[in-house]
Amino acid sequence: MTFSAAEHEAMRRALSLAATPGVPRGPNPRVGCVLLAPDGSEVAEGFHRGAGSGHAEVDALAAAGEDARGATAVVTLEPCNHTGRTGPCSQALIDAGVRRVVFAQTDHNPVAAGGADRLRVAGVDVAGGLLADEARDLNRAWTFAVEHDRPFVTWKLATTLDGRSAAVDGTSRWISSRAARLDTHRLRGECDAVLVGTGTVAVDDPELTVRDEVDDPVAHQPLRVVMGERDLPDQRRVLNDRAETLHLRTRDPLEVLTTLFARDCQHVFLEGGPTLAAAFWQAGLVDEVVAYVAPMLLGSGASAVGELGIGTIADAAHLHVADVHVLQGHDGEDTNVRLTMTVGRR
């Protein structure tokens, strides 16, 4: 495919629009669109603002009006071919008289796919693949979920330098620093569901909400999910009204992910204890690990992860370190290191 310099520049702008802060998480991907006049100048731009709102193409077309006729639409995702809360973007582009469509990422969602073919049949010039990797990175969890029919799983853990998640007496507050806890809330807010086991609820009584710097809950909350067969103790904070809570009475990680995928969850934040983490790992259902490492030693106590069935160093699980970040408090003492790692076995 051949793309003009103006189309490259427009796609970078469209990616920036798609990543606009404040767009609520949900079942839809983040998408941006820029309309170009025949001379390469920008006519209008738009982006998707969340489920139920106009898609990026429709947003840009509304801003352009009659100037969309004869334009090139540069969009980060193949225009959809689906009628849901809104009509198909492919047909909206055809109706507006757009002459060319350039998109980055192909839409593999079987519900929405086929927009490029619909455009071509209508006589629109279509070219795909421009900055496709950047578009995939922007919607990595959504892309993974669509391609694997299950949510992307990020396992978060907090550990001492010697791999302990709690002391011998069971105490674990606070292994992670305040800076690390604030960072955890940020990551929670990027996910569709936060998942723990019934044991964590019984022992630690977490609220599992996303909270700001002064510990107030933010407006948009992920689904709180507890898995396990036993009843939840009364008056647990996870049962309060600050967010929706789902109790799945199963110990099967794949069953949980299948249920959550059916509820339009594309990204699960796994915050359970060592037993739950080991169950997901052994099932091959961990895609990313975020570890907050505290500069402290306990010597003994609960391990950060349970039995993995590894008996020799040759069978050790290897991860790829994608990012290392030092999280430091204002006093310089409240410090953790955040390691973000991808699982290399896929």
Q: Which residues are catalytic?
A: 57
214-241: b (≥16 Cβ within 10 Å) or e: eeeeeeebbbbbbbbeeeeeeebebbee
Rounded Cα–Cα distance for residues 226 and 220 (Å) = 19
**Residue 283 region by backbone torsions, left for phi larger than 0, else alpha for psi between -120 and 50, else beta:** alpha
Using DSSP's 3-state secondary structure scheme, residue 40 falls into coil
The owner of tokens 């929670």 is 188
How crowded is the C-beta side of 290, counted as CA atoms within 13 Å?
Answer: 22
CB 115 within 8 A of CB 80: yes
Rounded Cα–Cα distance for residues 141 and 29 (Å) = 9
Nearest in space to 180 (alpha carbons), one of 152, 214, 156: 156
In the numeric block, which tokens belong to residue 272? Answer: 């359970």
